[in-house]
């Protein structure tokens, strides 16, 4: 028996409501904030991700799904949404549009991770990006939008964590200090952190191992090493967030898993789980990324949230998507002539916008009614010899268990009336 590959899952019909609900809330939010949808390919030139996410990161080192296509080109399944958007921004000359360019996406993301609750090898992200402006008011807009998104979904008990990790001018000095601090603990660091110390020191702060967390507690804080411009930028972001009434906590250990971030970084997590691998979403500035890809300097900021984790949190918090609206009509029949009539009637109902179906085959009327019930039909139309002869149908209200005879010509009108 084949199974879905480890770390992936089928989104069955009963789960679809959650995902559609999140997508609808996302699209509404983006309309309000002026973000337009973009879809990029599922795979890209592998170099795009190595270049942007960073060769020393977990994602690029251990987690990409990469393959050579039949012409020998190295391709990678999208492990995050931002780099493809920057590639598209450049490819389509979006710097000629009014800046910032505001875009959003809903896309599958692929990472070869160790599967666990809320961590999969394929997941879906809703993300948005504002490209082409360094104004701290734009940081506040993106953070505000992320915060309001969860509110629209109906999730509560969340916290917003914020940090600034500086720019390419001030960060090197900070990283040096960080290395000095961690080097003093040399042997006590976990093997991953020993490697990070050499290759990606910022990620040291992100280690979840208890032994390393103590070292992180006393580590120097990036905000103390910001250059005057970054310091001022961060202060302004905080001021705008106050202005917008967004509650936030500063988290001096907040860094993100990709190398391209600069200045503002933020995450939204369930309250009380901060630090665990529980972030519902996160984002930050990436002021150098487009330049890194060959464009002119184009500061930008974005955010992405994992849809499966949102669904998990909706279930934990008892937030359900609304039940699908509009009633379903099941057409039951008995006898060959009645079957012809049923096929015709179903087609007529569908053409008038009424959801109608039958299970066909040769079941007894009783079995068909059971099916109608199990499939959640609100009404059942019953056709047997008697109905065919008299040009009528029995209309059964499934919830009330009542039925009445209606003439064939009146069926559509009656059902439309019942639906309102």
Among 133, 206, 259, 308, binds ligand AMP (CB under 6 A): 308
Task: State which of positions 66-85 bind ligand AMP (CB under 6 A).
Answer: 80
Among 101, 143, 193, 305, binds ligand AMP (CB under 6 A): 305
Rounded CA gap, 281 and 268, in Å? 5
Would you count residue 275 as binding ligand AMP (CB under 6 A)? no
Would you count residue 119 as binding ligand AMP (CB under 6 A)? yes
Q: Using an 8 Å Cβ cutoff, are 289 and 260 in contact?
A: yes
Would you count residue 163 as binding ligand AMP (CB under 6 A)? no
Would you count residue 164 as binding ligand AMP (CB under 6 A)? no
- 104 preceded by a cis bond (ω within 30 of 0): no
Closest to ligand AMP by CB, 49 vs 225, is 49
Closest to ligand AMP by CB, 120 vs 174, is 120
Please, what is the minimum distance in Å from the beta carbon of residue 307 to ligand AMP? 8
Would you count residue 25 as binding ligand AMP (CB under 6 A)? no
Structure tokens at 40: 């990029």
Q: Which residues contact 139 (CB under 8 A, 6 or more apart)?
A: 233, 237, 240, 263, 264, 285, 301
Would you count residue 372 as binding ligand AMP (CB under 6 A)? no
Please, what is the minimum distance in Å from the beta carbon of residue 324 to ligand AMP? 26
Rounded CA gap, 106 and 127, in Å? 7
Closest to ligand AMP by CB, 89 vs 260, is 260
Q: Which helix (H) or strand (E) holds 39?
A: none
Would you count residue 129 as binding ligand AMP (CB under 6 A)? no
Among 57, 64, 76, 125, binds ligand AMP (CB under 6 A): 125
Closest to ligand AMP by CB, 193 vs 280, is 280
Among 18, 89, 120, 286, binds ligand AMP (CB under 6 A): 120
Task: State which of positions 230-259 bind ligand AMP (CB under 6 A).
Answer: 257
- C-beta atoms surrounding 199 within 10 Å: 13
Please, what is the minimum distance in Å from the beta carbon of residue 247 to ligand AMP? 19
Closest CA to 386 of 335, 329, 348, 330: 335
DSSP 62-117: II--EEE-TTS-EEEE-S-SHHHHHHHHHHTTGGGSSSSEEEEEEEEEE-----BT
Closest to ligand AMP by CB, 319 vs 394, is 319
- 10 Å CB burial of residue 201 (0-12, 13-18, 19+) is buried
Size of residue set near ligand AMP by CB under 6 A: 18
Q: Which stretch binds ligand AMP (CB under 6 A): 95-103, 167-175, 301-309, 326-334?
A: 301-309
Among 51, 78, 123, 263, binds ligand AMP (CB under 6 A): 123
Q: What angle do CA 289, 172, 159 make, to 5 degrees?
A: 65
Strand boundaries in 132-203, DSSP class E: 158-164
Q: Tokens 């039925």 — which residue?
A: 403
Q: Using an 8 Å Cβ cutoff, are 312 and 326 in contact?
A: no
Q: Check residue 224 and report its DSSP letter.
A: G
Among 23, 113, 192, 418, binds ligand AMP (CB under 6 A): 113
Please, what is the minimum distance in Å from the beta carbon of residue 111 to ligand AMP? 5
Distance of CA 78 to the CA centre of its chain: 14
Would you count residue 279 as binding ligand AMP (CB under 6 A)? yes
**Residue ranges in contact with ligand AMP by CB under 6 A:** 80, 111, 113, 118-120, 123, 125, 257, 279-282, 304-306, 308-309
């Amino acid at each position: 028996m084949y199974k879905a590959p480890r770390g992936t899952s089928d989104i069955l019909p009963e789960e679809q409501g959650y995902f559609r609900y999140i997508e609808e809330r996302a699209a509404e939010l983006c309309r309000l904030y002026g973000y337009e949808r973009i879809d990029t390919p599922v795979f890209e030139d592998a170099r795009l991700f190595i270049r942007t996410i960073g060769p020393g990161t977990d994602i690029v080192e251990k987690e990409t799904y990469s393959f050579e296509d039949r012409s020998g080109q190295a391709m990678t399944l999208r492990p995050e949404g931002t780099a493809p958007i920057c590639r598209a921004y450049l490819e389509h000359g979006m710097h000629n549009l009014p800046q910032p360019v505001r875009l959003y996406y809903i896309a599958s993301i692929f990472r070869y991770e160790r599967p666990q609750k809320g961590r999969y090898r394929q997941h879906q992200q809703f993300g948005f990006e504002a490209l082409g402006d360094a104004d701290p008011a734009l940081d506040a807009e993106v953070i505000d939008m992320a915060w309001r998104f969860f509110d629209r979904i109906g999730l509560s008990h969340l916290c917003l964590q914020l940090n600034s990790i500086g720019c390419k001018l001030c960060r090197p000095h900070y990283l040096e200090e960080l290395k000095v601090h961690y080097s003093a603990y040399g042997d006590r660091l976990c093997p991953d952190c020993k490697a990070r110390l050499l290759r990606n020191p910022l990620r040291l702060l992100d280690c979840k191992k208890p032994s390393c967390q103590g070292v992180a507690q006393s580590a120097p804080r990036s905000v103390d090493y910001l250059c005057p411009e970054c310091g001022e930028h961060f202060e302004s972001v905080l001021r705008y967030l106050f202005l917008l009434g967004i509650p936030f906590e500063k988290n001096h250990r907040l860094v993100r898993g990709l190398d391209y971030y600069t200045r503002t970084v933020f995450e939204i997590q369930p309250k009380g789980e901060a630090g665990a691998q529980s972030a519902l979403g996160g984002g930050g500035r990436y002021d150098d990324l487009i330049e890194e890809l060959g464009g002119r300097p184009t500061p930008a900021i974005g955010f992405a949230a994992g849809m499966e984790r949102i669904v998990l949190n909706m279930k934990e918090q008892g937030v359900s998507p609304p039940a699908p609206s509009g009633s379903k009509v099941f057409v039951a029949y008995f006898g060959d002539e009645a079957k012809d009539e049923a096929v015709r009637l179903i087609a007529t109902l569908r053409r008038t916008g009424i959801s109608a179906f039958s299970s066909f085959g040769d079941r007894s009327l009783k079995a068909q009614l059971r099916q109608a019930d199990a499939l959640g039909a609100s009404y059942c139309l019953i056709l047997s010899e008697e109905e065919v002869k008299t040009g009528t149908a029995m209309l059964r209200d499934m919830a009330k268990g009542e039925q009445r005879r209606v003439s064939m010509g009146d069926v559509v009108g009656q059902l439309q009336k019942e639906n309102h």
